[in-house]
A = this chain, B = another copy of it.
Amino acid sequence: MQREETAVSTASARTLDHPERTEIRLEAVLHALSDPMRLQVVRFLAELGEGEGAACSAIELAVSKSTTTHHFRVLREAGVISQVYRGTAKMNALRRSDLDALFPGLLDSVLDADTAQRRRTG
């Protein structure tokens, strides 16, 4: 229990900037999705249950830690994912309800297009 309390107070002390739903811009979302690594992150998070998150370290990208951090930040700043601290790790979750409310069908069509492309290119 002690550990959990520590994690909670750390989380409240270190919060990361996120756009409000109304601040999310289509152009920024499309830009965030226009990179294969970031698409891989979104695909991973989309396959988790509704509202579930994953630590950055759970999503293995074949790039350096700083590049990984950069990609997660682009996704967060565009409003595609949320990131919260759990201790020293960041937990990531897809902002599906925000995206679906703003741009119905967009996220699913991008994920479907990504699946179709990976099927074609092997």
Contact = CB atoms under 8 A, between A and B. Distances in A.
Interface of A: 22, 25-28, 30-31, 33-36, 39, 102-106, 108-110, 112-114, 116-117, 120
Contacts of A114: 26
Contacts of A33: 30
A27 B71 CA distance: 14
B110 A106 contact: yes
Contacts of A30: 30-31, 33-34, 110
A82 to B, nearest CB: 20
B116 A105 contact: no
Contact of A105 (B26, B35, B109): B109
